[in-house]
Chain A
Amino acid sequence: MRPRETLLVAAREVREAVRSRWFLLSAVSFLVLSLGLSLLGLAGAQRSGLAGFDRTTAGLLNLALLFVPLVTLSLGGLGLAGELEDGSLAVLLAQPLTRGEVYLGKYLGLLGAVGASIFAGFGAAGLVITAVAGGGNAVAFLQLVGLAVLLAAATLALGTLLSAALSSRAKAVGGAFAAWLVIVYGSDLGAIGLAAARSLSPAQVFTLALLNPVEQARVLGTLSLTSRPEVLGVVGVYGQDLLGANGLPLVLIGALLASASIALGLGWMVFRKAAVP
């Protein structure tokens, strides 16, 4: 795989993403929600005397856990399937490019566009918080930005896998929405249900959590804000006991990277042999 050609495809993808209405709507919504949450969080913090950054960062973490998978799954889902349907993928693949360069270039381009949108949204929120409440726990805030990008990498890879496997715009968007429901809501409810019905041990609940990038990001984000066990939940408490306070974040970061790599690898296995009509 040639880096120059991969980056050319990535740059093309950034331009395509920035011009798409769905991406623009998502980026503006993310910016508005980040700013809105920050202002609300700061207003509450001033009344209760809590530090602005921690309280607001917790709100932004929840926003990222909901919003980032929604945007990346749908954008990733539309990526290959959309171009396959409108014929531009065939035109692109008729150029002297390998499928690997097209696949990775499109992924990196979309990740770049989503990353820029995350930086814009959280950056604006960070500026507002700093101006109103001072620097505070800025490290936790920067960790949140990094975490959102990491989560985006994992869920975008999942969206790209769906796009390669379902190869139709409507199916890919439907699949992306279903995947969003499962990883954001379904896995929590499923884990609770399984834990109750099957009397799962904490180790089994922890293992289940390691399969879901949103759960990995949730625990990782919470760890950057607090180490109070009652806030971390079963997964966090068990993970901390098992791996230690320093080991758990590293394992969770590794799990997020592994989620991205596995989904990307599976998508590649589908795409490399796929017929492009």
Chain B
Amino acid sequence: MIDARELTLDLGERRVLDAVSLHLDPGEAVALVGPNGSGKTSVLRCLLGLVPYRGRACIAGHDCMHDPVAARTQVGYLPQRPAFGDATAEEALKFIARLRRIHFSRIPLVLRQVALESHAGQRARTFSWGMQQRLSLAAVLLADPPVLLLDEPTASLDREGQADFLRIAAELRRSGRTLLLASHRAEEIERLADRVLELDQGRLVPEQRVAQVLPFHARRAGG
């Protein structure tokens, strides 16, 4: 479902990713772990075509660089720092619904799923980070794509929000979505990931099983 070969990314003088290759089968959930600046978010940005990289990345067989619309149609993205400009929650979701030709009747349903139904008319800019992250999740639920790219998705959520998010994400995972998660949090990785890929200074270290790598990362993240 996700296939990246030899992804190399240079930003200015700095090599951010160095020949990173990864492959996710349909329905698989993989966590990208590693210290800050190791390149986790950059892998997601390459897959979204947000940065000019060398190498090849495909989502559901669509090249992320040469056929970005087809590739991104398959993707729901939860950024670390969601932003919706000056739109209200409802307007932000209506924009996505129009873009992806989804019926507006689904909007109240997804807002209810993330407990934002009473904030539909409020501007997302005035929301707390946690509420913005929940709105971002609502956008993903609305689009209902087969691939989810999650960038530190619970970083700005309180404990209750984290638990809600993990419950919804686990449901999505069980329903067969392919999931690529950049995370520091042991609980998140344990609940959502089948495999862990570790990045260090832009390079992929040999693959390990979740059970082997989690205690190490839990200590490193203080979790």
Q: Chain A residues in contact with chain B, CB under 8 A?
A: 5, 8, 12, 15-16, 19-20, 83, 86-88, 90-91, 93-99, 273, 275-277
- B136's nearest neighbour on chain A, judged by CB, is A91
Within 8 A of A (CB), among B48-88: 48-52, 68-70, 72-73, 75, 77, 79, 81-87
**Could you tell me the distance between the alpha carbons of A273 and B49 in the complex, rounded to whole angstroms?**
10
State whether the Cβ of B100 lies closer than 8 Å to any Cβ in chain A. Answer: yes
Interface residue B96 (Cβ < 8 Å from any Cβ of A): yes
B48–A93 touching, CB < 8 Å: yes
User: Interface residues of B toward A: which range?
Assistant: 20 to 34
> In B84-121, which residues have CB < 8 Å from any A CB?
84-87, 91, 95-96, 98-100
In the complex, what residues of A have CB within 8 A of residue B11's CB? 275
Q: State whether B81 touches A87 (Cβ < 8 A).
A: yes
Cβ A94 vs Cβ B96 within 8 A:
no
Question: Please, how many angstroms separate the alpha-carbon atoms of A96 and B67 in the complex?
Answer: 10
Q: When A and B form their complex, what is the total count of cross-chain residue pairs whose Cβ atoms lie within 8 Å?
A: 73
Q: Are A91 and B48 in contact (CB under 8 A)?
A: no
Is A87 within 8 A of B82, CB to CB?
yes
Contact B83 A96 (CB under 8 A): no
Chain B positions within 8 Å of A276 at CB level = 45, 50-51
**B residues at A contact (CB < 8 Å):** 11, 45, 48-52, 68-70, 72-73, 75, 77, 79, 81-87, 91, 95-96, 98-100, 136
Q: How far is the CA of A96 from the CA of B95 in the complex (A)?
A: 12
Tell whether, in the assembled complex, residue A97 and residue B99 are in contact, meaning their CB atoms are under 8 Å apart: yes
| Chain A contact residues, majority secondary structure | helix
Interface pair A275/B52, CB less than 8 Å apart: yes
What is the CB-to-nearest-CB distance from B37 to chain A, in angstroms, rounded to a whole number?
A: 13
Pull 14 A–B residue pairs with CB atoms less than 8 Å apart, ordered by A: A8-B99, A87-B79, A87-B81, A87-B83, A88-B85, A90-B83, A91-B83, A91-B84, A91-B136, A96-B73, A97-B69, A276-B45, A277-B50, A277-B51
Contacts of A93 in B (CB 8 A): 48-50
A275 touching B51, Cβ below 8 Å: yes
CA distance A192 to B95 in the complex (A): 51
CB-defined contacts of B100 to chain A, threshold 8 Å: 95-96
In the bound complex, residues from chain A placing their C-beta under 8 Å from that of B84 are 88, 91
Q: Cβ of B68 and Cβ of A91 under 8 Å apart?
A: no
Q: How far is the CA of A12 from the CA of B88 in the complex (A)?
A: 12
Contacts of A277 in B (CB 8 A): 45, 50-51
Kindly provide the distance from the CB of A277 to the nearest chain B CB, expressed in whole angstroms: 8
Asked if A90 and B79 make an inter-chain contact with CB atoms under 8 angstroms apart, the answer reads yes
If A8-B95, A20-B86 touch, whether A96 touches B45 (CB-CB below 8 Å) is: no
Let me know if B69 and A91 touch, CB within 8 A.
no
Q: Which residue of the partner chain B has the closest CB to A86? A: B83
Interchain CB contact under 8 A, B85 and A83 = yes
A61 CB to closest chain B CB (Å) equals 33
Q: Which residue of B lies closest to A275 (CB)?
A: B51
> Please, how many angstroms separate the alpha-carbon atoms of A12 and B83 in the complex?
14
Identity of the chain A residue whose Cβ is nearest the Cβ of B145 in the assembled complex: A96
